[in-house]
Structure 1
Amino acid sequence: MIRLPLLFAFTLTATSTLATASETRQADAHEHGHGQLTIAIAGAEVEMEIEIPGMDIVGFEHAPETDAQHKAFDAGKAKLTEGDSLFSVVGEAGCALKETHFHEEEDHDHDHDKKSSEAEHDEEHMEFHVSYHFSCEDTAKISGFSFPFFKHFPNSEELDVQIVSPKGQFQFEVSPDEPALTLN
């Protein structure tokens, strides 16, 4: 299929832009409540990729240790697999979720200044990194996106959304108070 390389080109552009933003964000303090979502639209395909702190999804930011934490982790991961109940395409595009892929969950070790206290030293921050693949009848009919995501994950306060599409590149912030965006 000729259009598939185009999707990868869009995804690569979006990922490069997201990587730069992510590097900048990681250089700053770890920020709970704030995730990043990249959306690439090309041909009949929509690819979404989210990076979100573990605190937003499961209520803690380290690898699960107790039985209760393991249950919360499994429940959070199960909710994240349901991309079509977290992200909705607005318009008559006829999109359906075809695949969900979890990238390795990441624990980010933050080395603090040697003068910092023992409690702060070797702090870990878990993040979830998930990709979603949607197949659509007509992506030209996508007029926006809504985010029921916030109803499922009330610890999440904001998603920085980057969209790459044939219409151009767009950047939005969505939140529980404004859980939708419109493409013009």
Structure 2
Amino acid sequence: MRHALLVFSFCLLPSLSHAATKAPHSHGSLGAHEHGTARLDVALDGQTLALDLDSPGMNLVGFEHAPTSDADRAAVARAREKLTAPLELFNLPAAARCSVTRQELLSPLFGNAASDHDHDHDEHDADAHHEHSDVDGHFQLHCEQPQALTGLDLARFFTTFPSTHKVLVQAITPNGQVGLDATPDNSKLAF
């Protein structure tokens, strides 16, 4: 039942999202592929915390093309390693005693996913060498003391990935829905 509620919660998030922040070239219900901007959906149900990150690869590795050099491959490996530590990256309170039970990182940059942002016939097709590669991170955590989860702080995310200037955060918790257009100067979301 809890899994169904989490899935249902994530299905609702796009319809409740920041429609006003969509750029003119948006693709799908999750909004535009906008360099410097990422999206984080959060759902807390009982002791299960789900985090769903969607970011242009440019924000995390500095490029979106397939890695072709040793430097490119090293940048991808560094970003992937940093993303595998969601407890630190999202600065969850230690008192919540959360542990990662499942995580999945998908991206054409990692060689394990096709780009969700293929274009039919827009202006980006004029440059056949320019592709959009997003990084999707799906994290599920078990929190022994979920009442200690009073929010999250993205300050470490911004310092870890300085090319990210804004994260559109939506959260569904037992206290209701909250959202924040997080920036390095405004990185804390209370829920």
User: In which range does the TM-score fall when normalised by the shorter chain?
Assistant: 0.7 to 0.9
Structure 1 or 2: more strand by fraction? 1
Aligned equivalent of 1:126, options 107, 130, 133: 133
Does structure 1 residue 51 correspond to structure 2 residue 69?
no
What are the equivalent positions in structure 2 for 1:132-147 lying under 5 Å apart? Answer: 132-147=139-154
- What 5-or-longer segments of structure 1 have no aligned partner? none
Bigger mean CA offset, 32-41 vs 69-78: 69-78
> Is the counterpart of residue 110 in structure 1 residue 119 in structure 2?
yes
Letter in structure 1 aligned against 2:130: E
Aligned-partner Cα distance in 1 for 2:133–2:60: 10
CA drift at 1:40: 0.8
Q: Equivalents in 1 of 2:133, 2:180: separation in Å?
A: 24
Deviation at 1:21, TM superposition (A): 4.8
Instruction: Structure 2: state its 5+ residue gaps.
Output: 107-111
Number of residues of Structure 1 aligned to a counterpart in Structure 2:
177
CA distance in 1, matches of 2:64, 2:114: 10
Conserved? CA contact 1:33–1:156, under 8 Å: yes
RMSD after superposition: 2.7
Q: TM-score, normalised by structure 2?
A: 0.79
State the structure with more CA Rg. 1
Aligned to 1:154: 162
Give the superposition deviation at 1:90. 3.8
Q: Distance in 1 between matches of 2:62 and 2:56?
A: 9
Shift of 1:16: 3.7
1:163 equivalent to 2:166? Answer no
Alignment match, 2:5: 9
| Partner amino acid, structure 1, of 2:169 | V
- Secondary structure of the residue aligned to 1:73 is helix
- Give the corresponding residue for 2:103: 100
Distance apart, 1:22 and its partner CA: 9.3
